[in-house]
Amino acid sequence: MEYVVLVNEKNTVLGKRPKQDVHSTHTPLHRGFSLFLFNTKKQLLITRRAHTKKTFPGVWTNTVCGHPAPGESVIKAAKRRLNDELGIVGVNIREVSPYRYRFADGNGVVENEICPILVAYSDVKPKVNAKEVAEWKWIAWTDFLRALKQNPQVYSPWCREEAAIIEKLHILYG
């Protein structure tokens, strides 16, 4: 059984709960992460969440999102999910910014996370796990930022906000 780490606003651990029981209209605050994977062409690997996902099904988002298990670092969790969802291993991941969000999807199911923003670089072609990812594509960073502005409803709300943070940090290959 997969567990998520429940926390308070200061990211102090309060306990754990089965992931399947956490996401609802009253989702408690818990730890997560968001990873943005770039290639050497300055393209971002974006993914469309599987239509069977409990929260934000079928929505385009950043490369990988997930939850660290109790006692697991966000970097280790991101590497685990990157392998599980896209078959990508051996990348160096770094945390670039803290982030906190709460969003409800069209069904009222809430994501409520302390969710550091992570960045990594790789040219590896994904081997997609269809249970997690419906589609994927590489997109030029500038085209991605433009798409977020032109069609924001197509992308997850956390992805839109996190992309703006990454852009302000000027960290792409910097």
Residue 159 class from Cβ within 10 Å (0-12 exposed, 13-18 middle, 19+ buried)? buried
Distance CA 80, CA 127 (A): 14
Count Cβ atoms below 10 Å from residue 123 Cβ, excluding itself.
Answer: 10
Query: Does 65 qualify as catalytic in the annotation?
Result: yes
The residue annotated as part of the active site, out of 85, 113, 159, 162, is 113
Helix (H, G, I), strand (E, B) or coil at 145: helix
Query: Does 113 qualify as catalytic in the annotation?
Result: yes
Helix (H, G, I), strand (E, B) or coil at 162: helix
The residue annotated as part of the active site, out of 65, 85, 115, 162, is 65
User: Which of the residues are catalytic?
Assistant: 65, 113
